[in-house]
Amino acid sequence: MADLGLTQQLILLAATAAVSGLGVPIVLKRIDESRTQELKNREAAISRQAKIIDAQASFLDELSQVLWEWRYAAMKITYYGSSGKQELYEQSCEEYQSEIWLHLNKIRCITSKSRRLASENCYQELLKFYFRIVDLDKRIFKAINIVEPKWERELELSDLNVEIFELVSPEIDELLFLISHRLGLQSEFRRSL
């Protein structure tokens, strides 16, 4: 700077001051805008994730509800059909026959929903269980269509009742647990066990 004249030094000093006086606030403003946008993006992602978790929890509640509704309808018809209580059996038969398509439809719709809210593995597990229910339904209808001898129908329904109570009920619990585990929707206490 010694080679420069005083005027040139003053011009250079003024230019440097102007650039740093204008440039620094612009750079700081851009940094602040970038941080603000990053924060907004992060908050939007957290909000989306919270909505997904809420939808998954509702999905799991809905799945639990419809599986147990079907299970109790199946238990009712097999129980009364094997107990010899003709009036209650006939009533449960009418209810089962009028509701089974609604149960199957709900279970299948929820199974399809699992592809969106859970995973392909959860979908496959639910689909497999859906076909198990369809098979049990076919066996129930076959049994209730046995008119004579009555003891044969009662025996068949008794076997189905035991199967549903002893095997299917724990399968439902295990399926719901598996899906809740895969979705990460278990309580902290349960995960620590």
Asked if residue 92 belongs to a domain, the reply is yes
- Give the pLDDT of residue 55: 83
Look at residue 155 in the predicted model and tell me its pLDDT: 94
**Structure pTM?**
0.74
- What is the structure's pLDDT at 124? 94
Half-sphere exposure of 174 (CA within 13 A, CB side): 8
The residue among 148, 147, 73 whose CA lies nearest residue 103 is 73
pLDDT of residue 67: 97
**Residue 30 placed within a domain:** no
pLDDT for res 42? 82
Q: What is the mean pLDDT of each run of 10 residues along the chain (193 residues)?
A: 69 73 71 78 78 85 95 95 90 94 95 89 94 97 90 94 96 93 72 51
Q: What is the pLDDT of residue 94?
A: 95
Task: Provide the token pair at 32.
Answer: 């602040």
Q: Please give the pLDDT value at position 123.
A: 93
Residue at 165 is within a domain: yes
Report if residue 27 sits inside a domain: no
Q: Does 136 fall in a domain? A: yes
Q: 8 lies in a domain? A: no
Would you state the pLDDT for residue 193?
52
Task: Count how many Cα atoms sit within 13 Å of the Cα of residue 155 in the half-sphere of its side chain.
Answer: 5
Find out whether 143 and 157 touch, Cβ atoms under 8 Å: yes
* Domain-embedded: residue 64: yes
Domain count, the chain: 1
Full residue range of the structural domain in which residue 124 is found: 41-184
d(CA 144, CA 100): 14
Query: What is the DSSP-derived secondary structure letter of residue 187?
Result: -
